[in-house]
Structure 1
Amino acid sequence: MSLSQKVGGNEHLITLGPRALKTGIAVAISLYICAYFGLEPAIFAGVAAIFTIQPSIYRTWRQMLDQFITNSLGAIIAMFALIFIGNNPVIIGLILIIVILVCVKFKMETNVISLTMVTVLAIMSAPGNEDWLFALNRFLIILIGMVTGFTINLLILPPKFNTNYYQKSKDAFNKLSLLLRTAISNELTEKTFRENWDSLQKDLQKLEELYKMFDEERSKMSKVNRLNVREIVVFKQMLKTLQQGEKVLELIEEHYFQSKSNEDEDKLFDHYLEQLIKCHEYYLLKYEGKIKEGDIHTVTIHEEELKLFLDSLVDSYKNDSEQKVRILAVGFSIFEYAFQLQRLNHLLENYLRKETVSS
């Protein structure tokens, strides 16, 4: 769902994602539930719902459990302080410090600690000498927000990582393709090269985080959110292949231009990098189902050619070991990139074959 708005004559696209939509729904429902049962102030339920919704079902569940534990503890400490000590600003500040230290001791995340602070403030903001029923009322309000947030995340547009993960993989590949294709020829300006490389590294970090969520969902929440294990294996290999491609880029930048390569070596490296990039692109298209079955123009990695490539580099190293040791390191990284691509193709074919049979 997208909204467009004009700012200063330029059109900017604002994307409303599923998580933002679910957060709004969870807050609204939390407020309605509190209003129905006459629980005030309902705003605390909305805050709890906001903190509870996470990118995955497992993380939302874990967040809710952690919040329940720390909020219960925070509520007990706050209630004790409210009844036996008081609630002047200094005492509230000291209680918050104590609760934060306890949460840190239990290695709770920032979001969990933040909501616990809200719970403590909600309980200790009593206008007069309130009893434990007041504290229980505030705790129930926050609990309603937590449970509502988890339920909404589970039932409405549950997180689907496949499309997002693959799209980010494609984005990362497009940047990697540009950088590798121009790495040897050194055609890009330094600014353009650095911007694209920094962006590629950020994309790879996001992919690692997404894969981690995949793995968590598979191992912890398989009964609630069923995931295709074979597809997860393919996604893991997609990430490893991209990471190895980025490693090639790093070694080219670090070693290749210090190796005093000649024109023939430049052409040789350019040729093999171009071939591997074509294979990488072909395998991604195969995953998308855009390649015809039995295509006679299948793009493959020829092991014999790679062996000849390495042999030529080794011969070059023998003739000038001091200068060519750097170029040999780059060559072996390219060989590893080819190996990861072959493995990606193998896993991809197994996955597609099983999908065809099951459908």
Structure 2
Amino acid sequence: MRHVLILGAGRIGRSMTALLQGTGEYQVTLGDRDPATLAKCTTKGAQTLGIDSTDMNALKAAMAGKHAVVGAGPYAVNVFIAEAAAACGVDYFDVTEDVEVTNQVRKFAKGAKSAFVPQCGLAPGFISIVANDLAKQFETLRELRLRVGALPRFPANRLGYNLTWSTDGLINEYLNPCEVIHDGRRVLVPPMEGEERFAINGVEYEAFTTSGGVGSLCETYDGKVETLTYKTIRYPGHCEAMRLILEDLHLKSRRPLLKEILEGAIPETRQDVIIVFVTATGMQDGRLNQISFARAIHGAELDGHAFSGIEITTAGAAAAMIDLKYQGKLPQSGFVRQEDVSLADFLENRFGKVYA
């Protein structure tokens, strides 16, 4: 029995709890500082814990006897969780997209005997595993294009969007610099630019640069590819509308107000669809070739629990990485990149199969 502490009892934390606890091979303790949020956890056999994830003493006490800890709450608290994990020798996982937090986690991973596996979600996360798998099929690589979107199945406003996950994470994506490889060099570019249009199965989408989704791929493929870009997928017109909100109304400099407006005006939805679209271009047998990977993933019911698309893809990806670590299919210590796992191993995993 593996004992796992999940910190953050929001939708992703509760979904991970249901997935791991439901196997009978993991004993999950779900922690959060809000009693009302903890009370929403209905997974049979799971334990709950009231805890402030910025309290180092409380974190160390909660990690006693645990094999792993997962940061599933606000991205900023993951730095505290990672520091405590390093002190306690506990394996660390998170689902953050925040670049600076991941850089801090990397520091705690240096010389650690336990594993530090950040960015275990959809993007960053699964998208990096796919891109790495496609890239390895070429003798020389010209371009990697990563495109991901969490979208409402039934858009009903001018943004063509509903909230499906963390608003703080969404704002981060739209406002922070984006790492890409351009002309063979790692560079930072502004978010909400490079707009493009395409169609998958007859449905039209747009995509534009956003922060964080590329994970560590730019580092991994530095000097190995001419172009590597990550963009977020939305329905056409979303980018222009968001530029009005962020630029013309200047809400990009007032993040708390921006969050309040978004959460007050844009409803959440569980009727979502996750679009994953990765394309690799390069030389195979002396010819320029292209390989693509595309998925459209909806919510599903697993073991009596109903999951939205974003829940099943994010929680499923993180649970798969935990599973793979204890199956010996990931590096067992230090900083672990998402691309350190093979796509075949991931898709064969009982949690990763949601992407198959």
Q: Taking structure 1 as the reference length, what is the TM-score of the superposition?
A: 0.22
- Say which structure is richer in strand: 2
Bigger Rg, structure 1 or 2: 1
TM-score normalised per structure 2: 0.22
Structure with bigger helix share is: 1
